[in-house]
Chain A
Amino acid sequence: DAGITQSPRHKVTETGTPVTLRCHQTENHRYMYWYRQDPGHGLRLIHYSYGVKDTDKGEVSDGYSVSRSKTEDFLLTLESATSSQTSVYFCAIKEGRVKNEQFFGPGTRLTVL
Chain B
Amino acid sequence: DAKTTQPTSMDCAEGRAANLPCNHSTISGNEYVYWYRQIHSQGPQYIIHGLKNNETNEMASLIITEDRKSSTLILPHATLRDTAVYYCIVRVATGGGADGLTFGKGTHLIIQP
Asked whether A42 and B103 contact (CB < 8 A) given A50-B98, A56-B98, A99-B32, the answer is yes
Q: Is A45 an interface residue (CB 8 A)?
A: yes
Q: Distance in Å from the Cβ of B89 to the closest Cβ of chain A?
A: 8
Asked whether A106 and B91 contact (CB < 8 A) given A41-B105, A58-B100, the answer is no
Chain B, residue nearest A45 (CB) = B100
Asked whether A98 and B43 contact (CB < 8 A) given A31-B98, A41-B105, the answer is no
- Asked whether, in the complex, the Cβ of A107 is within 8 Å of the Cβ of B42, the reply is yes
**Which of B46, B49, B99, B106 touches A42 (beta carbons < 8 Å)?**
B106
Main SS class of interface, B? loop
> Considering the chains assembled together, what is the distance between the CA atoms of A58 and B100 in angstroms?
8
Asked whether A98 and B100 contact (CB < 8 A) given A41-B105, A104-B44, A107-B43, the answer is no
Chain A, residue nearest B43 (CB) = A104
Main SS class of interface, A? strand
- Asked whether, in the complex, the Cβ of A48 is within 8 Å of the Cβ of B32, the reply is no
Q: Distance in Å from the Cβ of B72 to the closest Cβ of chain A?
A: 20
Residues of B within 8 A of A49 (CB): 98
Q: Is A33 an interface residue (CB 8 A)?
A: yes
Within 8 A of A (CB), among B24-80: 32, 34, 41-46, 49
> Considering the chains assembled together, what is the distance between the CA atoms of A108 and B16 in angstroms?
34
> Considering the chains assembled together, what is the distance between the CA atoms of A33 and B89 in angstroms?
17
- Asked whether, in the complex, the Cβ of B101 is within 8 Å of the Cβ of A43, the reply is yes
Asked whether A102 and B101 contact (CB < 8 A) given A107-B41, A107-B42, A107-B43, the answer is yes
> Considering the chains assembled together, what is the distance between the CA atoms of A59 and B103 in angstroms?
11
- Asked whether, in the complex, the Cβ of A106 is within 8 Å of the Cβ of B43, the reply is yes
Chain B, residue nearest A90 (CB) = B43
Question: B-facing mask of A74-104, CB < 8 A → 1, else 0?
Answer: 0000000000000000101010101111111
Residues of A within 8 A of B102 (CB): 42, 45, 59
Q: A31-B98, A107-B43 are in contact. List 9 more A-B contacts (CB 8 A).
A: A41-B105, A42-B103, A42-B105, A45-B100, A48-B99, A59-B100, A92-B43, A102-B44, A106-B42
